[in-house]
Structure 1
Amino acid sequence: MGTLLLCIALIFEVTFAIYCIVTKKNYKKIKNWLRIAIFIAFAILTLSSVIMWSFRWVLLATLLFLLAATGTVALIRNKTKTQKYKTSSIVWKSIFMIVILVLALTPAIVFPQHPSPKVTGKYEVATAAYTYIDKKRVEEFSDKGQNRFVNVEFWYPKNAHGTYPLLVFSHGAYGIKASNTSTYTELASHGYVVVSIDHPYHSFYTASADGTKTFINTDYNREVSNINKEGIYTNEELYGLIQKWMKLRTDDMNFVIDTILKKAKSDNDSVYQKINTEKIGVFGHSMGGAASVWLGRVRNDIDAVVNIDAPFFSELLYKKDIDDFVASKKPYNIPLFNIYSDDVWKQLGSNSTYVANKLDNQNFKEAYTIHFQGAKHLSLTDLPLFSPLLANSLQGGKADINKYYCIETENELILKFFNYELKGIGHFAPKENY
C-alpha cells in the first residue's frame, strides 16, 4: 500500500509540474483543492479500513493534514491571484514535495500493511504486559546498581473458563518479545497462556510498564556480530561468550517462570488465574531456542520444548586438547521439537557450535525434527511479514519459501506438538521436510 501510494503521489507531482511548465501557469487554486480532496480521500480510506491505521501512517497523515490546512487557508484568503509563474519555482517546489512524500511514506514502505496469519482457535485472544523486578540480581549492563528487570507480555484466552498450559517464549539475539506474535496468538486461541520475554540489553529494544525504553547493549551487539567473522574469537573465547549469554537468558526465563508460578497461587489477576501450573512448555527462536533447550535440561517442571533454528548450547562442550567443540553424552529426556531453516539445516553435519544438533545424535533420538526448505533464519518469525526489507537485509536476501505458508505451517505444527505433549490431544507425526 505504501509503495502504491508513493507511486501515485510521484506521478501526480511530476505530471502536475510538467503541466504547469507547459502552460506557464501556477494553478495554485486547483492544487489547493486537490490537496484538500487527497486528505479527505485518505481519511475515508482509513475510516473504511482500506488503510489500517497504525504508526506507519502517522507521518503521511500529518503531511496531508498540513497541506490540506494550508490549502484551505490559502483558498479562504484568496492569495493565489497575487503569485506570478516561475519555472524554477515550480521545479524546486516539486522536488521538495517529492522528498517530503518519500520521507512521509518511508514507514509504510519499510513496514508495509499486511494481512495477519490465520488464527484458527475458538477463543478470543487478549494481551497484558508487565515488568518484573528481580531483587536477587543486580543489572550487569548498568553501573547504577539497579536490579535486573524483565518485561513480559501475555497472550491468553479471553473470557474463557478453567486453566490452560503455560508457554514461555524467548526471542533471538536481536529480537523483541513480539517477534512471533502470530504464533502466540494462534496458541492462545486454542487454550494456552503464552508469555513472551524481552531480555533487556539483549533485545533490540524493550519498553517497561512505566514507558522507559532500553536498547540493545553495544558490547553484546558487537560480540554477536563478530561470532560469524573468522579470526575474531578463538573457540575457547566463543565458548565463554556462549556461557555468558546463556546464563543471562536462562536466569531471566527461570525468574519469569518462578514469578508466574508464585503469582498463580496468590495474585487475583485474571491472567495468572488462567494458568495450569502443572503444564509448562518453553520455546524460542535462535538464541532463545538455545536457552529453551537449556531450560529443559535444568528444570524438572518443563514438559515440552520447541527449538526454532538454534544450536544446542546446553549440550556443547569445549575440549581444550583438541581446541574444538564436542557434544555432551547425557540423554535429553524432555519432549523436543526442532524446526530448522536452510540456514541452520546446512550446518547440522559440521563440527561447529551445531555439533550437538547432528541428526545422528542418539541423545536426541526421540526428538522431532523438521526442515522448511527454502526458508531463511528469519522466515521462522513474523519479521518477513512486518518488514520484508528489514528481514531480507538482516538475513542476506529473500527466502525462497512463501512467507505465509512458512509461518502458518510452523504455527500449526507448534500447536499440534504442544497439544500432544501438554494436553494429550491427537497424534504428532510431522514430515521431515516442508
Structure 2
Amino acid sequence: MGYLLLLIVLILEIGFAIYCMVTKQKHKKIKDWMRISVFIAFVILTLSSVIVWSFRWVIPAILLFISAVKGTVSLLRNKTNNKKYKTSSIVWKSIMTIFVFIFAFGPAIVFPQHKSPKVNGKYEVATATYTYIDKNRTEEFTDKEDHRSVNVEFWYPNKENETYPLLVFSHGAIGIKSSNTSTYTELASHGYVVVSIDHPYHSFYTVSEDGTRALINTDYNREVSNANKEGIYSKEETYELIQKWMKLRTEDMNFVIDTILTKVKTDKNPIYQHIDTEKIGVFGHSMGGAASVWLGRERNDIDAVVNIDAPFFSELVYNKLVDEFVARDEYFNTPLLNIYSDDVWGQLDSNSTYVANKPNNEQFKNAYNVHFKGAKHLSLTDLPLFSPILANILQGGKADIDKYYCIETANELILNFFDDKLKGIGHFTPEETY
C-alpha cells in the first residue's frame, strides 16, 4: 500500500509538472485542488480500512494535511499570481516535492501494511508486559551498579478459571521479544501462556515499565558480527564468546522462569493463576534457540524444547589439542524439535559450531529435525512480514519460500509438538522437509 500511494502521488506530481511545462503556465488553482483531493482520498481510504492506521502513516498524513490546508487557504484567498512562469522553478519545486514525499512514505515502505498470519485457536488472546528485577545480579553493560532487569511480555488466553502450560521464548542475537508474535498468538489461542523475554543489551532495543530504554550493546553487536566472519576470531576465542553469551541468556531465562514459579504461589495476578507449573516448555530463535536447548539440559522442570535455527551451544566442546569443536558425549533426554532454514541446514554436516547438530548425533537420536526448503534465517520470524526490506538486508537476500506458508507452517508444527509433549494431544509426526 505504501508503494502504491507513493506511486500515485509521484505520478500526479510529475504529470502536473509536465502539463505546466507544456502549457507554460503554473495552473495554481489546479494544484490547490489536487492537494485537497489527495488528502480527502487518503482520509476515505483510512476510514474505509483500506489503509489500516498505524505509526507508518503518521508522517504522510501530516504532510498531506499541511498540503491540503495550504491549498484550501490559497483557494479562499483567491489571490492572482503575477509571478512570471519559469520552467526551472516548476522543475525545482517538483523535485523537492518528490523527495519530501519519498521521505514521508519511507516508514510505510520499510514497514509495509500486511495481513497477520492465521490464528486458529478458540481462545481470545490478551497481552501484558512487565519488568522483573534480578537482585542477585548486577547489570554488566552499564557503569552504574544497577541490578539486572529483564523485560517480558505475556500472551495468554483471556479466560478465567483454567490453567495452561507455560512456554518461555528467547529471541535471536539482535532480536526483540516481539520477533515471533504470530507464534505466541497462535499458541496462546490454543491454550498456552507464552512469555517472551527481551534480553537487555542483547536485544536490538527494549523498554522497561518505567520507560527506561536500552539499545543493543555495541561491543556485543561487534562480537556477534565478527563471529560470523572468517578469520576474525580463533576457535578458542569463539568458544569463549559463546560461553559468555550463553551465561547471560540462560541466567535471564532461569530468572524469568523462577520468578514466574514464585509468583504463581504468591501473586494473585490472573496471568500467574492461569499457569500450570507442571508443564513448561522453552523455545527460541537463533541464539535464543541455543539458550533454550541449554535450559533443556540443565533444568529438570523443562518438559519440551523447540530450537529454531540455532546451534547446540550447550553441547559444544572445544578440543584445544586439535583446535576443533566436538560434540558433548551425553544423552539429551528432553523432547526436542529442531526447525531449520537453508542457512543452517547446509551447515549441519560441517565441523563448525553446528557439529553437535548433526542428524546422526546419537545423543539426539530422538529429536525431530525439520527443514524448510527455500527459507532463510529470518524466514522463521515475523520480520519478513513486518519489514521485508530489513529482513532481506539482514539475511543477505530474499528467501525463495512463501513467507506466509513458512511462518504459518512453522507455527503449526510448534503448536502440534507442544500439544503432544505437554498436553498429550495427538501424535507428533512431522515431515522432514517443507
Q: Give the TM-score of the pair, scaled to structure 2.
A: 0.98
Could you tell me whether the CA contact under 8 Å between 1:13 and 1:94 is conserved in 2? yes
2:430, 2:164 → 1: CA distance? 24
Does residue 387 of structure 1 match 2:387?
Answer: yes
Query: CA–CA distance in 1 between the matches of 2:67 and 2:339?
Result: 50
Q: CA 1:80–1:222 in structure 2 vs 1: closer, same or farther (change >3 Å)?
A: farther
- Note the alpha carbon deviations across 1:354-397, whole angstroms, 9 max, x for none: 01001011110111111001111001001111111111111111
Equivalent AA in structure 2 for residue 21 of structure 1: M
Matches within 5 A, 1:168-183: 168-183=168-183
In structure 2, distance between residues paired with 1:414 and 1:117: 15
The aligned counterpart of 1:258 is 258
SS at match of 1:13: helix
Query: How many Å apart are 1:84 and its aligned residue?
Result: 3.8
Partner SS for 1:231: coil
Residue identity matched to 2:198: D
- 1:243-302 superposed Cα distances (whole Å, 9 cap, x missing partner): 000000000000111111111111121211111111110000000000000001111110
In the alignment, is the contact (CA less than 8 A) between 1:29 and 1:80 conserved in 2?
Answer: no
2:6 pairs with 1:6: yes
3-state SS in 1 of match to 2:347: coil
Aligned to 2:124: 124
- In structure 2, the residue matched to 1:219 is 219
Tell me what 2:415 maps to: 415
Q: Is the 8 A contact 1:110 1:389 kept in 2?
A: yes
The equivalent residue for 1:247 is 247
**Partner Cα separation in structure 2 for residue 83 and residue 159 of structure 1:** 69
Shift of 1:23: 1.1
Paired AA for residue 99 in structure 2: V
Is the Cα contact below 8 Å between 1:74 and 1:80 reproduced in 2?
no
1:80: how far off?
A: 4.9
Give secondary structure in 1 for the equivalent of 2:201.
coil
- Paired AA for residue 97 in structure 1: T
Q: Where has structure 1 moved over 4 Å in runs of 4 or more?
A: none
C-alpha separation between the residues in 1 aligned to 2:120 and 2:112? 24
Q: What is the CA–CA distance in structure 1 between the aligned matches of 2:232 and 2:324, rounded to whole Å?
A: 16
Q: Is the 8 A contact 1:110 1:388 kept in 2?
A: yes
- Separation in 1 of the partners of 2:393 and 2:204? 16
Q: What secondary structure sits across from 1:162 in the alignment?
A: coil
Rounded to whole Å, the distance in 2 between the matches of 1:298 and 1:133 is 23
Residue 313 of structure 1, CA deviation: 0.3
2:77 aligns with 77
DSSP 3-state at the match of 2:105: helix
AA aligned opposite 1:333: N
In 2: Cα distance, 1:22 partner to 1:161 partner: 73
- TM-score normalized by the length of structure 1: 0.98
Distance 1:429 1:381 in 2: 23
Match of 2:333 in 1: 333
Does residue 292 of structure 2 align to residue 278 of structure 1? no
Deviation at 1:160, TM superposition (A): 4.3
1:156 matches 2:156: yes
The CA deviation string for residues 180-200 of structure 1, in whole angstroms up to 9 with x for no partner, is 000000000000000000000
Three-state SS of the structure 1 residue aligned to 2:161 is coil
**1:83 CA drift (Å):** 4.2
Q: How many residues align?
A: 434
Farther off after superposition, 327-336 or 1-10: 1-10
Asked whether the equivalents of residues 226 and 232 of structure 1 are also in contact (C-alpha less than 8 Å), the reply is yes
Question: What secondary structure does 2:50 align onto?
Answer: coil
Structure 2 counterpart of 1:216, one-letter code: I
Deviation, 1:30, is 1.7
Q: Distance in 2 between matches of 1:160 and 1:188?
A: 14
Unaligned runs of 5+ residues in structure 2 are none
Q: Distance in 2 between matches of 1:202 and 1:45?
A: 39
Contact 1:134 1:255 in 2 (8 A): yes
Structure 2: distance between partners of 1:73 and 1:123: 52
Look up the match of 1:26: 26
Match of 1:50 in 2: 50
Give the match for residue 114 of structure 1: 114
Q: Are 1:28 and 1:80, in contact at CA under 8 Å, matched by a contact in 2?
A: no
- Alignment of 1:36 with 2:36, yes or no, is yes
Structure 1 unaligned blocks of 5 or more: none
Q: CA RMSD in A?
A: 1.0
Cα distance between partner residues in 1 of 2:29 and 2:131: 54
**Change in 2 beyond 3 A, CA 1:23/1:201:** same
3-state SS of 1:165 partner: strand
Percent identity, aligned pairs only? Answer: 75
Q: Which amino acid aligns with 1:115?
A: K
Residue 79 of structure 1: SS of its match in structure 2? coil
2:84 paired with 1:90: no
Partner of 2:375: 375
> 2:356 is matched with which residue?
356
Partner residue of 2:342? 342
Q: Secondary structure at the match of 1:420?
A: helix
CA distance in 2, matches of 1:151, 1:89: 53
Find the residue that maps to 2:244 and give its secondary structure.
helix
CA distance in 1, matches of 2:146, 2:80: 61
Name the SS of the counterpart of 1:307 in structure 2.
strand
Measured in 2, the distance between the counterparts of 1:84 and 1:155 equals: 63
SS in 1 for 2:135: strand
